[in-house]
Structure 1
């Protein structure tokens, strides 16, 4: 395996680049550590860098004029953010922050725009991910309107599970309540339901997935369609 390619294999998009494009991208990326809670870009703020995660989970958060917050979507090693940079954008409508610590690579906005012009596979992969991420956001809206909190929590935990190694996910009830846009007691009740069905085990600051298949059955139609589309457009998450 080419030594130049090895560092990028942990990000699904970068791993699919041909050798000539990897060589071009390598000169423009910078490895970064991303602690939990760090804000990659603020809402309605200029985009300085674009991030390709190799581990950890990022949350894309919508913030109203009154300061109300809700997660619109999440991303991990399967993609990049902020996605508007992939179509020439310079401002992020959303706040993007790390909900689970990780590491990855970042590129300056100017480098991204240059790379999109000169690397057709790179440009195509980013466009495909943007399409898929839009699908994820649309399903978040659907779930928030039509599914119970415990079903929405099951979906959200499955999405987190897709993006981490192992079955343990470092999450607090307070953070989950922010991401699901519900009160903390609703999160506690939902977790108790999932625990009662022996689908998860919740400890302080940590949730362990015990029964992945059962959790998928519990989530029902709330989970699966955007994931199917990702596999169709790009590959395995």
Structure 2
């Protein structure tokens, strides 16, 4: 692992093999993540994926009635843009920064290209998506069935 990859805080980027990290590095850009900044909108093309270094974002599910609920959280263990990893180009939910910080933005096209070139990079991202789906299911259950104090405790732990 080179010193640049060693210095990142994002656990997904740290988990990559050095040659896989190098596939993404030319497209990496440090970005500030402001509270309430919308990273993704439903049915809007995802232009970049954010690997969170600090901060926290909520994935919000919406009903046609206008009601919404948090269905997932992403911090430095993960990334936005899961739809890109799964072969789509558009988000299905809204992703909103809840705790400001910094991230590493990588163009969606660079992610797609790197996954075509490297099975090991693709496998790391797919394993993350599996974990994210498991977490999302747990979040929905907790938000739907738990009392406020338990939901808050879960949110703080995330």
Which range, TM-score by smaller chain? over 0.9
What is the Cα deviation at residue 87 of structure 1?
1.2
Supply the distance in 1 between the matched residues of 2:16 and 2:150 (Cα, whole angstroms): 37
Q: Are 1:97 and 2:96 counterparts?
A: yes
What does 1:158-237 correspond to in 2, within 5 Å? 158-159=157-158
Supply the distance in 2 between the matched residues of 1:115 and 1:83 (Cα, whole angstroms): 15
- Contact preservation (8 Å) 2:70, 2:140: no
Supply the distance in 2 between the matched residues of 1:124 and 1:75 (Cα, whole angstroms): 19
Supply the distance in 1 between the matched residues of 2:79 and 2:150 (Cα, whole angstroms): 27
Partner of 1:112: 111
- 1:93-142 deviations in Å (ceiling 9; x for gaps): 10011100011111111111101111222211110111111111111222
What is the Cα deviation at residue 44 of structure 1?
2.1
Q: Secondary structure at the match of 1:55?
A: coil
Partner of 1:64: 63
- Structure 1's consecutive aligned runs of 4 or more residues displaced over 3 angstroms after TM superposition are none
What is the Cα deviation at residue 66 of structure 1?
2.5
Q: Are 1:4 and 2:18 counterparts?
A: no
- Contact preservation (8 Å) 2:9, 2:53: yes
What is the Cα deviation at residue 37 of structure 1?
1.0
Q: Are 1:142 and 2:141 counterparts?
A: yes
The alignment covers a number of residue pairs equal to: 158
Query: Which runs of no fewer than 5 residues in structure 1 stay unpaired?
Result: 160-237
Partner of 2:53: 54
TM-score, normalised on structure 2? 0.92
TM-score, normalised on structure 1? 0.63
Query: Which runs of no fewer than 5 residues in structure 2 stay unpaired?
Result: none
- Of the two structures, which has the highest relative contact order with CA contacts closer than 8 Å and spacing of 6 or more? 2
- Contact preservation (8 Å) 1:4, 1:23: no
The RMSD of aligned alpha carbons is 1.5
What is the Cα deviation at residue 41 of structure 1?
1.2
What is the Cα deviation at residue 26 of structure 1?
0.6
Supply the distance in 2 between the matched residues of 1:155 and 1:140 (Cα, whole angstroms): 8
